[in-house]
């Protein structure tokens, strides 16, 4: 059963920009793409979304130690729905487009509020302003690397 991570529990549309097997550049519950532009959707269907906090609480998923989020534009919403989980993780890897100001600013705020610090920022290349950002907790063994 497909379930999307979101900032809240509820159903919404999963919108796809292509129907290729393993394709990317889709979104859940929003009308914008990974750059914050209007999504050029070709197919959509309704699914359930759940926040990180609800996934741990309701689905009894163990609190993770490490989180990787690469979801084409709604990273900041997923982080907004995961404050309780983020306060306990050791590290978060998240892909952010610095040209999508709302995403970049809100992501930074959510992660700093959780007590995480930016450890490394890696350019994804291709002339875009997209980066993998590695955030860690100060007392993490990762902070010594």
Q: Is the pTM of this model over 0.75?
A: yes
Ordered alpha helix ranges (H), 24-132: 52-58, 75-80, 83-86, 101-113
Domain extent listing, the chain: 3-144
Answer yes or no: are the C-beta atoms of 89 and 138 closer than 8 Å. Answer: no
- Express the helix, strand and coil content of the chain in percent, nearest 5 each: 25, 35, 40
Lowest mean pLDDT among 12-16, 17-21, 62-66: 17-21
> Nearest-CA neighbor of 64 among 7, 121, 137, 133?
137
Q: Quick check: 145 pLDDT over 60?
A: no
Q: How far is CA 60 from CA 40, 83, 139, in A?
A: 36, 16, 26
Residue-wise pLDDT tens digits, 27-60: 888 888 887 888 888 899 899 999 999 999 998 9
Structure tokens at 95: 């892909």
| CATH (residue range 3-144) | 3.40.50
């Amino acid at each position: 059963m497909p379930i999307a991570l979101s900032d809240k529990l509820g159903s919404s549309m999963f919108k796809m920009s292509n129907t290729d097997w393993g394709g990317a550049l889709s979104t859940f519950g929003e009308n914008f793409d990974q750059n914050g532009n209007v999504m050029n959707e070709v197919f959509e269907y309704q699914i359930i979304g759940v926040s990180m906090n609800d996934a741990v609480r309701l689905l009894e998923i163990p609190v993770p130690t490490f989180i990787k989020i690469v979801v084409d534009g709604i990273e900041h919403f997923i982080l907004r729905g995961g404050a309780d989980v983020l306060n306990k993780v050791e590290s978060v890897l998240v892909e952010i487009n610095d040209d999508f100001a709302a995403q970049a600013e809100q992501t930074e705020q959510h992660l700093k509020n959780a007590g995480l610090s930016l450890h490394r920022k890696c350019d994804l290349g291709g002339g875009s302003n997209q980066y993998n950002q590695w955030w860690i907790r100060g007392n993490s063994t990762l902070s010594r690397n």
